[in-house]
Amino acid sequence: MEQVQEQQAFGMPRIGEAAPQFKAVTTQGEINFPSDYKGSWAILFSHPADFTPVCTSEFMTFATLEDKFAEANCKLIGLSVDGLYSHIAWLRTIKEKIEYKGMKDVEVKFPLIEDITMEVAKKYGMMMPGESNTKAVRAVFFVDPKGIIRAIIYYPLSLGRNFDELYRALIAMQTADAFSIATPADWTPGDDVIISPAGSCGTAKDRMDGKEEGLECKDWFFCTKKLDKETVLKTVLKK
């Protein structure tokens, strides 16, 4: 029984499932997740603790990029197991005292969740006992406008996140949805995209015979097509 309870406490939702619902106090007031974010993408991310250097560098970076994510219809929500007053003091310190990589006077405007009971962290599998029983690892959940989890990335306590990759992943998923394609390794807007493999022998033959216009096929199962950067950005970004 104890083992089952522990698995439930530290379980995590999966890609394709509805994001677990919760109500929480944040630095921007109370939120209901994901219902308050219906119609927008959301990135829910956790950090181990306030007043730590790696987390500080991450929050400054995310805050600086918030408008860029907003243009892609994506809102940011942070979480740690620290209390609200600790959050407020830390964010004030960041704005008033910290300068890093040319960033200074950085104001964090997106919500930072108070989770001293670890209720949300456990619900989302952000607690990793092998890493720490008292700090959330660096988890990232991409939630789409329908409240469905689309991607999950986890980092250990010692490793700061790559924010270019978080943005790239967001744009790639939006592009896949909009154009019914897949994106290859290291894809960025403007690169060729992948179309679904042929579903029949006839389609496979037609593709290899060059009968489907606009496709470049390496083999029957591996076909790409052009999708220019302007078309991608015009579709996924708010103008």
138: annotated binding-site residue?
yes
Q: Helices (H) and strands (E) in the chain — how many of each?
A: 7, 10
DSSP letter assigned to residue 86 = H
Whether 217 is a known active-site residue: answer: no
Helix residue ranges, H only, 41-181: 53-71, 84-97, 119-123, 163-179
Identify the active-site residue in 55, 74, 217, 223: 55
Sequence letter at residue 30: E
Task: Say if strands 222-225 and 138-143 run parallel, antiparallel, or are unpaired.
Answer: unpaired
Alpha carbons 199 and 205: distance in angstroms, whole number: 11
Alpha carbons 198 and 24: distance in angstroms, whole number: 46
Q: What is the DSSP string of 2-15?
A: HHHHHHHHT----T
Query: What are the catalytic residues?
Result: 55
Pick out the residues of the known binding site.
138
Pick out the residues of the known binding site for substrate.
138
